[in-house]
Structure 1
Amino acid sequence: MTQISAIATPSVAKPSFIALLIAVSAVSPLGINMYLPSMPGMARAFGVDFTTIQLTLSLYLAAMALGQLIIGPISDRFGRRPVLLIGLTVFIIGSLICFLAQNVGLLIFGRVVQAMGGCAGITLSRAIVRDLYGRNQVASMIGYVTMGMAVAPMVAPTIGGLLDTFYGWRASFAFLIAFGGLALLFAAWQLPETNHNRGSGGAGRELLYSYSILFRSRLFWGYTLAASFISAVFFAFLAGAPFVMIELMGRSAAEYGFYFALVPGGYILGNFASGRFAARVGPNRMILAGTFMALASVAAMAVIFAVGFMHPAALFGPMFFIGLGNGLVLPSGIAGAVSVKPDVAGAAAGLSGSLQIGFGALVAPLIGATLSTTIWPLIAIMTACSLLAIASFGLVAGQHRPEAGN
């Protein structure tokens, strides 16, 4: 195994280490996106309506939100490595439950288990980066990691659709079992402990102490809410786009998978820009640019549909730029949140990640309840989330920013 001292400085930006962070970060996004093309078939297989099968998405997101609240602070206490390895093991167990499920109740339970384990990769990859880098460098490194991670949601619906076509819906969960197993082996082999300031007191007391520090920080809330609301724009789209594309536009699931690749494509480009320019430009400017880009893109989508152009390009074209805006905002927003109080970086990563996913868990059922015969509820919710992201960033404006090394 790599020695701890080998990664005690930012020289750890080796391709193998970045690949490890990408792999563990990609586990949960794969769990979200892999099975989406199979949802109508799963509803038929279990004899339930689409609203019921959609619980496998909204409860997955809710479990991710809850899991990150627990995993981050626990890793501050016990270390990143053991918590990550346990989380990946739980993800594999959840995927196996889904694969073997004979009724929708067991499937939903498996999805919750899957999410609780998979969220360790997203949370702890951020905390690991913060263990090793200064604040501005964190934004760049997270940008590179999430740029690679974005490949997962880009290819997952296509892979899931092909597996469903040839082998049925269970094949997607077999794929997730295999991917989770490989990520677990990779982490066990390559990942040393990066948290050298682990606490020694009671875990419950430290958890409350960590969150009490963060709850009092205006900077933390500014960065976290900006990232959460901009993520909610994407999750609103994720929940509503299949219905709009297939039911309102009369297009096929295969076409949905084809056009969907535009969204993570924009996200990858935005993360690449973050990786290249965040340290030089500063995270606040990146966040401001990304939030206004998202709002302008939603406005463009509204104008296109208002003139009656009902085509997938009208939906996914603006979403490319919303994905780009997400790629500009999220690395810097996450970096700002976990850098406000570096001694509780795990708790900050967990709480910020929990809220980011939790907002998605809130908007997904809201979209499902309001979409019926028109796209306008989707556009209205995306617009509101974009405006709230800009408003949230006002909490950061004018505040003293932590030094890069803090």
Structure 2
Amino acid sequence: MSFQSFIHPERRRSVPPFPLLIAVTMSGTVALHIFIPALSTAGRELGASPATAQLTITLYLVGLAIGQLVYGPLSDRFGRRPVLLGSLVAYFLGMLLAIPAESIGALIVARVLQSLGACGALVLGRAMVRDISNETDAAKRLAVLITCMTLTPTLAPGLGGLIEAWLGWRAIFVVLAFVVGSLLLLAVALIPETNRNPVSGRGVGFVLGGFARLLRSAKFRRYLLAGSCAGTSLYAFLSAAPFLYIELLHRSPQEVGLFCVVVSVGLAAGAMAVRVLIGRMEIRHGARLGNGICVLAALLLMAAHFAGMVSVGTLTGTMLIYAFGAGLGGPNAVAGAMSVDPAAAGSASGLYGFCQMALGALATLAVGLWYDGTALPLSVVLTSVSVASAIALQRL
């Protein structure tokens, strides 16, 4: 096989298998969620404080955020396939570096490399689905893709907890290395170039210009803030969960994964509710309803803390409600942001994804730095971001 046919295998296959694109896209966040139950154990073994250990989550989110702004323009210029293969290689190498890590610093470096590779899988999997579909088929396939992606935060924490309990936290990265390596080999063999018209003249400057146009719109900024706050603030819970459940509530690491699964089910249920309510209420009203539920849940968690009633039931229950509100409000906010300037839909998607992950990283950092062995930092952060979201939505 020649080098050119390796990089651009159009002669061998014209359309990539849709199930493979689903798997590639889902893999983009699996390394984030699957490691959460092992966070506390890994931190103790490597001699790290809770705040330092949580950087393995926070900086992973930072990598995903930055990548949202980079991979799209690169794939427009050089093609989807070579950029995707490069990202999967980085993802795989990040797993290999994490397995023997002897310090928290080495693990953090490996996690950042993982995130920079994972983001390519996340962004380019979706882009390829759009490339190979007409307008009607794209809507159907993206709906299937989004539904499948909800399985990652639902199933990955439980799986991570089981692997950590049976084999130790390092085994999580062994399993992920096998998965990502397999996806890389399948991508080499089965995924062709789907961007038939790479644009050489539209680089970073063109993309940044689209970002500037969108940010000048007050409507876009409000939807951007509302959706980013409501959705990715859940990462603050996910990063705090191992410490709250294990150290405060004295539960096992594998149970942490199961509790995270329960909370993630709320997110999927909220997203399903959007499909029921769509067409029955305006987008802004759906976003407000979801955000209102988030505010209520955050306040209930704060009340439980001050009443001395934080338990597995109250923590999991309030976060389940919060996740439902985020699942309901987030998609409506995305739809509102994307409708501001249809001609700049790609830039809107990239900027929205960047802000989601960036604000998620800030939320996890705030909880990590403030962590005091109680649920107070988490409840204050969630209340603050949901109230900020409510203010933004009320001005629409």
Sort the TM-score into its range (normalised by shorter chain). Answer: 0.7 to 0.9
1:326-378 CA distances to partner (integer Å, 9 max, x unpaired)?
22233333344345445544433222111101111111121122221432222
AA aligned to 1:165 is A
SS in 2 for 1:261: helix
The corresponding residue for 1:308 is 308
The corresponding residue for 2:289 is 289
Structure 1 unpaired stretches of 5+ = 8-15, 398-406
Query: In 2, Cα distance between the equivalents of 1:323 and 1:144?
Result: 21
The corresponding residue for 1:299 is 299
| 1:87 CA drift (Å) | 1.9
The corresponding residue for 1:48 is 48
Query: In 1, Cα distance between the equivalents of 2:287 and 2:127?
Result: 20
Query: In 2, Cα distance between the equivalents of 1:53 and 1:236?
Result: 13
Q: TM-score, normalised by structure 1?
A: 0.82
SS in 2 for 1:212: helix
| 1:112 CA drift (Å) | 0.7
The corresponding residue for 2:96 is 96
The answer to which of 142-151 and 223-232 deviates more is: 142-151
Query: In 1, Cα distance between the equivalents of 2:141 and 2:273?
Result: 11
Q: RMSD in angstroms over aligned alpha carbons?
A: 3.0
Q: Note closer, same or farther for the CA distance 1:324–1:20 as it changes in structure 2 (3 Å cut).
A: farther
Q: Aligned pair count?
A: 383
Query: In 1, Cα distance between the equivalents of 2:47 and 2:305?
Result: 35
> Is 2:91 the counterpart of 1:60?
no
Q: Note closer, same or farther for the CA distance 1:288–1:258 as it changes in structure 2 (3 Å cut).
A: same
Task: Work out whether residues 34 and 159 of structure 1, in 8 Å CA contact, stay in contact via their aligned partners in 2.
Answer: yes
- What does 1:219-368 align with in structure 2 at a 5 Å threshold? 219-275=219-275, 277-278=277-278, 281=281, 283-368=283-368
Q: Note closer, same or farther for the CA distance 1:248–1:358 as it changes in structure 2 (3 Å cut).
A: same
Task: Work out whether residues 73 and 350 of structure 1, in 8 Å CA contact, stay in contact via their aligned partners in 2.
Answer: no
The corresponding residue for 1:401 is none
Task: Work out whether residues 36 and 238 of structure 2, in 8 Å CA contact, stay in contact via their aligned partners in 1.
Answer: no
- What does 1:4-403 align with in structure 2 at a 5 Å threshold? 17=18, 19-127=19-127, 144-185=144-185, 187=187, 198-201=198-201, 203-275=203-275, 277-278=277-278, 281=281, 283-394=283-394, 397=396
1:279-306 CA distances to partner (integer Å, 9 max, x unpaired)?
6655434322211221122233334444
Q: Note closer, same or farther for the CA distance 1:238–1:277 as it changes in structure 2 (3 Å cut).
A: same
* Percentage of matched positions with identical amino acids: 35
Q: Note closer, same or farther for the CA distance 1:273–1:261 as it changes in structure 2 (3 Å cut).
A: same
1:377-403 CA distances to partner (integer Å, 9 max, x unpaired)?
2211101111112222346x3xxxxxx
Structure 2 unpaired stretches of 5+ = 1-11
Query: In 2, Cα distance between the equivalents of 1:345 and 1:142?
Result: 15
| 1:267 CA drift (Å) | 1.3
| 1:155 CA drift (Å) | 2.1
| 1:111 CA drift (Å) | 0.8
Query: In 2, Cα distance between the equivalents of 1:224 and 1:190?
Result: 36
Query: In 2, Cα distance between the equivalents of 1:196 and 1:343?
Result: 20
Query: In 2, Cα distance between the equivalents of 1:337 and 1:129?
Result: 21
| 1:319 CA drift (Å) | 1.4
Task: Work out whether residues 36 and 239 of structure 2, in 8 Å CA contact, stay in contact via their aligned partners in 1.
Answer: no
The answer to which of 90-99 and 335-344 deviates more is: 335-344
Q: Note closer, same or farther for the CA distance 1:264–1:3 as it changes in structure 2 (3 Å cut).
A: same
| 1:265 CA drift (Å) | 0.7
